Chains A and B, each alone.
Chain A
Amino acid sequence: MDRAIIVDHLVKNFEVTEKEPGITGALKSLFSPKTKQVHAIRGISFAIQPGELVGFIGPNGAGKTTTLKTLSGLLYPTSGFVEVLEYDPWDRRPEYLKQIALVMGQKNQLWWDLPAIETFELNRAIYEIPRRVYEENLKELTELVEVEKLVNTPVRKLSLGQRMRMELVAALLHKPKILFLDEPTIGLDLVAQQKMRDFIYEYNKKYNATIILTSHNMDDLIDLARRVIVIDEGRLLFDGALEELVGRFAKEKIIKATLGSEDNIKEIEKIGKIKKISFPEVTLSVPRSTTAVAAAELLQNFPVEDLTIEEVPIEDIIRKVFKGELKQ
């Protein structure tokens, strides 16, 4: 098997009932409901190899979560082809479900009033994990996310960060080969975020697990994802290495110069957009196509001591992705 996940021309529409504000609106929608088609996914295609860790990014409402839910068999695709581990996810066959996990940062499966260990025991039975394997996995996972002392505490008494890590343990006890992570670090403090990232990295390496991760957290993507898929308004905008994202979407380059004197420093804005001046350092942003000309002009007309040309930082591009500012 050379493809863990195949998605081909996937389309998913939702029917949404619209309601005007107020009581009259409520009455109106009761008697003549107005429905609207929402095109959550408008034909996206990609394939993922076993063991890949892919970042799935886009602005809110781009269709990321919908895609993950379709891949894990929760949603029925409107049209298109989806195959995960050679299964049709929608069939929800036990053999398939035993190999996947979907972790949503804002949804939980732990039983609120019982200690987490009870949910773990329940999952052991549901996933039919042999007792010995279960004990090993439990020990390993709880140690990895450092919650081994908390498994007997009722879930409602755990902090959000502790609970999220417990959720992860519950979702991974059956050692899924495919992991769909939807905003795994949402709401966590910085230390907990880092622990979560380390864990995801480890899990991917150790078990050669295929992981798709959606996140609005810059560090999640930069630390973890070698490959990113960018979607917006249900369409695929980019699929490739994280570094290539810059070359593909950055319309500008950054020139950093160290000046010898402050003479006619005002004139410098004619060359490019000034991002920052703190003498002797000047940072300019110039269009990609005219970078060389701009650099030459700078060298000719200003007392330049040192000059470097850099790509726009990856963070800037990702930020644009989140804002939905990347267009084809």
Chain B
Amino acid sequence: MRKYWQIFKISFQEEFAYRLNFILWRVRNVFQILLTFFLWSTVFVNPNTVIFGYDRAKILSYVFGVMIVRALVFSSRAVDVSTDIAQGDLSNYLLKPVSYFKYWWTRDVSSKALNLVFAAVEFMVLYFILKPPFFFQKDIYMLITFLLSVIIAMFLYFFILFVVSAVPFWAPELGWGSQFLMLIVVVEGLSGSLFPTNVLPTNLQSLVLATPFPYLVYFPVQVYLGNVTGLDLVKGIFIGIFWTFALMFFMNWIWQKGLKVYESIGR
């Protein structure tokens, strides 16, 4: 356990060593929020507009919910893993008595902790500037369920990331491309961070809800907003847990295969 605490600390320090990088990543996040905010503000410029069951207050609550959940789920250091494999730097870890997965999980958690602090500050600033009608969840039971769904989302994202990152074991040159396709196109598109999943037609919606992606952002935000209750809530949590374990086993399997063909290149 102590070794992972040390990893947490050094990782935290490194984020500060790359100060500019970190700031730019936060700026990107703020812009994304602003973009979504103004997009929906324009759509709902008439206060009586209701689209897909969302009025202005609801959609803006959603957008701000996304901001916090994104900071927790999507901030990750493990995006470097595919480069590690392609360039042979993975060897450094394989040589040491440390679990590679736990190592990156620890680094992710440290990154999430740091990002959460910044996201909270940004949230407050944007909240006072834009004065959106934000919904504050006061039900302790719902808050606990929200926390649980966020934890599921963090594990889900981690496993998705590690599965995608395994591509360079077989095709080192595809590392960046596969990550872009998966993380930027599929994950961003289907997770609910650009638009709430329930604006989709019902058929498509139930299809998307069967995939792991909406459990990254859409579902936790809906839980927070109190829009999912009762059986739907239990069902959602279970689908999330199912995907978490399925992806974990898949990740282990694919990594076992990958490490056998790993060439430890770079020399």
B window 238-267: CB within 8 A of A: 259-264, 266-267
- Within 8 Å by CB of B96, from A107, A127, A154, lies A127
CB atoms of B96 and A97 under 8 A apart = yes
The CA of A94 and the CA of B88, in the complex, are separated in Å by: 21
Contacts of A114 in B (CB 8 A): 10, 13-14, 17
**Residue total for A at the interface (Cβ-Cβ under 8 A):** 36
Q: Which of B10, B89, B259 contacts A118 (CB 8 A)?
A: B10
The one of A76, A109, A127 that contacts B92, using a Cβ cutoff of 8 Å: A109
Mark contacts of A93-121 with chain B using CB atoms, 8 A cut-off: 1 yes-contact digit, 0 otherwise.
01101101110101101010110001101
Determine if B131 is an interface residue (Cβ-Cβ < 8 Å).
no
Q: Is B95 an interface residue (CB 8 A)?
A: yes
Q: A293 contacts the other chain (Cβ, under 8 Å)?
A: no
Chain B's nearest CB lies how many Å from the CB of A114?
6
A24-47 interface bits toward B, Cβ cutoff 8 Å, 1 = contact, 0 = none: 000000000000000000000000
Contact flag A15-B261 (CB < 8 Å), given A126-B3, A127-B97: yes
Contact residue among B7, B14, B91 (Cβ-Cβ distance under 8 Å from A125): B7
Interface centre among B2, B89, B92, B95 (most CB of A within 10 A): B95
The contact string, 1 if C-beta is below 8 Å from chain B, for chain A 63-75, is: 0010001001111
Which B residues touch A76, using CB under 8 A? 259-260, 262
Q: Indicate if A273 sits at the interface (CB-CB under 8 A).
A: no
Specify the chain B residue showing the minimal Cβ separation from A103.
Answer: B95
CB neighbours (8 Å) of B262 from chain A are 74-76
Q: Which residues of B contact A218 (CB under 8 A)?
A: none
B104-153 contacts to A (CB < 8 Å)? none
Q: Do the beta carbons of A14 and B263 come within 8 Å of each other?
A: yes
| Interface of B, helix, strand, loop or mixed by DSSP | helix
Task: Name the A residues within 8 Å of B14 (CB-CB).
Answer: 111, 113-114
A119 CA to B88 CA, complexed, in Å: 19
CB pair A74 B95 closer than 8 Å: yes
Interface string of A3-33 (1 = CB under 8 A from B): 0000000000011000000000000000000
Answer yes or no: A241 CB below 8 A from chain B CBs: no
Q: Mark A54-92, 1 if CB is under 8 A from B, else 0.
A: 000000000001000100111110000000000000001
A194 vs B195: C-alpha distance in the bound complex, in angstroms? 63
A128, B5: Cα distance in complex, Å: 12
B52: chain A residues within 8 A (beta carbon):
none
Q: Which residue of A lies closest to B91 (CB)?
A: A74
Chain A to chain B: the 9 pairs with minimum beta-carbon distance, closest first: A125-B6, A94-B97, A113-B17, A125-B3, A97-B97, A74-B264, A109-B92, A126-B98, A76-B260
Residue positions of B touching A, CB distance < 8 A: 2-3, 5-7, 10, 13-14, 17-18, 88-89, 91-92, 94-98, 259-264, 266-267
16 A-B interface contacts by CB (under 8 A)? A73-B95, A92-B94, A102-B91, A102-B95, A104-B267, A107-B92, A107-B266, A114-B10, A114-B13, A119-B10, A124-B6, A125-B3, A125-B6, A128-B3, A128-B97, A154-B17
